[in-house]
Structure 1
């Protein structure tokens, strides 16, 4: 039986201070198959290489994100469709990564505006969105990497809207935030571009 190779494909997320919402990084492929077509950053898993290291390598080499700007990384789901890669059977392990501010050639698109991508990467993005929406406000490494050590309530709304695909109920969101271990609503209020009105600021206990 022909053996499958393993690829690591990364749904890379950006949510910088001036970004209105969460975006996903894609870039044109430099090699066959699908040369010139947009795709998620991906690499073949090296012998003895850990998934997180492979994911960081993919984000660095395919999106041009400096190693220092790559924050938290985690695993999502596996795609095992035998014909997903024209080169032969390839098992894809989808990962997520959150990146900080940097300069690079990647194109950043919202979940609602993802262009046609090579391989089955549109399917990966779609599946990842559902998984990430369930991680948000529950998985602390993911939540802190995306939201930051502190954030105004309006930013929490922006993150939730991007991943859920719908604007959350404010009262429910506040209850969700209040239940997160180590996250507290501060007495500070911060004006944001989105509303122009001061919004309550939430902060993790470790924030200095």
Structure 2
């Protein structure tokens, strides 16, 4: 008789920090063994009859301490099935993305290219999912809106794109890409004037 393999849900929680001009990933110390005290992605075992979004929200709230109201989107990335990924025995890990609009308390935020050593196979999960996150930006409405919020400038869009892809696109090219995103529009509004003068950047908003 083949025994069922437990399924864990591990979440890559992202937020855009306008001050730091980059996208940040949230990790926190584990409160229990194995790897007690080591940094890790928020994760939980999938409960009986529980949906992935429900488990992902439970992981973020319980492990990162972010309120559920801070979550602005959540979705699935891919599955990791390395048998030795958990010292307690074989488990499947379903990686999810989540976007947040709050830094919370006790969360360690890091850039995707400076992720510290993490428990389990979480560094591999981040590395393998990073290109998938880059593909979601400006293609997946829930992800993009959750990450960028309702009002943002072209400069902030360039910062987020560079943080996820590693390359800074030409503003005109990115503007054309953004104009094709359903529900996103360039407004007649402008952000605050630049300190040294010049034309203030226009704002983008969701319908």
What TM-score results when the alignment is normalised by the length of structure 2? 0.92
Between the aligned partners of 2:173 and 2:24, the Cα distance in structure 1 is 24
Q: Do structure 1's residue 201 and structure 2's residue 203 form an aligned pair?
A: yes
Secondary structure of the residue aligned to 1:12 is strand
Q: Which residue of 2 aligns with 1:62?
A: 63
Between the aligned partners of 1:102 and 1:78, the Cα distance in structure 2 is 27
1:120-146, Cα deviation, whole Å (9 max, x unpaired): 101111122111111110111111111
- 8 Å Cα contact 2:154/2:171 also seen in 1: no
- 8 Å Cα contact 1:66/1:102 also seen in 2: no
Unaligned residue ranges in structure 1 (runs of 5+): none
Query: How many residue pairs end up in the alignment?
Result: 205
- Offset of 1:103 from its aligned partner? 3.0
Secondary structure of the residue aligned to 1:113 is coil
Aligned counterparts, 1:1-208, within 5 A? 1-101=2-102, 103-191=104-192, 198-205=200-207
Of stretches 46-55 and 126-135 in structure 1, the one that deviates more from structure 2 is 126-135
1:78-105, Cα deviation, whole Å (9 max, x unpaired): 0011111111001000001111225311
- Offset of 1:194 from its aligned partner? 10
Secondary structure of the residue aligned to 1:22 is strand
- Residues 142 and 196 of structure 1: CA distance in aligned 2, closer, same or farther (over 3 Å): farther
- Offset of 1:32 from its aligned partner? 1.2
> What do you get for the CA RMSD once the two structures are aligned?
1.9
1:128-187, Cα deviation, whole Å (9 max, x unpaired): 211111111011111111111121101101110111012122222111011112222122
What TM-score results when the alignment is normalised by the length of structure 1? 0.92
Between the aligned partners of 1:159 and 1:90, the Cα distance in structure 2 is 33
Secondary structure of the residue aligned to 2:47 is coil
Unaligned residue ranges in structure 2 (runs of 5+): none
- 8 Å Cα contact 1:14/1:23 also seen in 2: yes
